[in-house]
Amino acid sequence: MATQMSKKRKFVADGVLFAELNEVLTRELAEDGYSGVEVRVTPMRTEITIRATRTQNVLGEKGRRIRELTSLVQKRFKFPENSVELYAEKINNRGLCAIAQAESLRFKLLGGLAVRRACRGVLRFVMENGDKGCEVIVRAQRAKSMKFKDGYMIASGQPVTLAVSEYIDSAVRHVLLRTFSLGYQVKIMLDWDPKSKVGPTTPLGPRSCYNPRSQRQRETFPGTSDGS
């Protein structure tokens, strides 16, 4: 007989599963371009999709690594036998993913690159990939912080809730250097895309557009003047 679970306990259990799974995969697949995880529960089984830039490394030789990860998840969260499946999804555009850029910045800093140069490189790469804006905030152990920003980044006004949930992708990482530790946040604002390939389909509030063609037609239309 199946046990009944309240909605509150169900949401808490799902949140704990996602948080712990994301933490494990972040540590295990950091060098393989790990960019997030999606958990989809069906009546028959639980499907876990791992998003990464190097899916071949996630799968491993002849699928060995993905099977090891499946066994690890099954034993850790006590899933029944053959009730959980892991898949790997490739991130086609790394410039649209804040997690991928945060990991890239982490490896640059560990490699000895200067903070300003590393952050500027991330900004340039993101903006060249067609994003609307990017912001990198770096803070050390003391109160001083450095902020690098390029493009358009919404931060106040009516559509902030919509922008944070759909338009802004953010990631926070910490890196331990030789003499001190750094914490940084990468925020990427996506552009509106009606085809939902590189951005959300929901329009971001009212916008004013200038069409020079309609302006020329108005000027040459008979019976009108500049003051009308």
In this prediction, residue 223 carries a pLDDT of 47
Asked which of 113-117, 164-168, 213-217 is least confident by mean pLDDT, the reply is: 213-217
Q: pTM to 2 decimals? A: 0.70
pLDDT one-digit tens code per residue, 75-103: 888 888 888 889 888 887 888 888 889 98
| Residue, of 106 and 33, whose pLDDT is higher | 106
To which residue do tokens 């750094």 refer? 182
In this prediction, residue 95 carries a pLDDT of 82
Residue 222 has pLDDT above 50, yes or no: no
pLDDT one-digit tens code per residue, 139-168: 987 768 899 999 888 776 655 666 567 788
* Structural domains of the chain, ranges and CATH numbers in brackets: 7-91 (3.30.300.20), 95-189 (3.30.1140.32)
φ/ψ of residue 175, rounded to 5: -135, 135
pLDDT one-digit tens code per residue, 13-23: 888 888 888 88
| Number of C-beta neighbours around residue 35 at 10 A | 25
Structure tokens that stand for 16 in this block: 């704990």
In this prediction, residue 221 carries a pLDDT of 42
Q: Cα separation of 69 and 36, whole Å?
A: 15
pLDDT one-digit tens code per residue, 172-205: 888 888 888 889 999 998 887 777 777 777 776 6
In this prediction, residue 153 carries a pLDDT of 83
Q: Cα separation of 23 and 121, whole Å?
A: 27
In this prediction, residue 162 carries a pLDDT of 62
Where helices occur in the chain by DSSP H, the ranges are 7-28, 55-59, 64-76, 98-110, 115-128, 160-162, 212-220
Tell me the average pLDDT across 204-218: 59
**Beta pairing, strands 133-139 & 145-151:** antiparallel
Length of the chain: 228
pLDDT one-digit tens code per residue, 118-140: 999 999 999 988 788 899 999 98
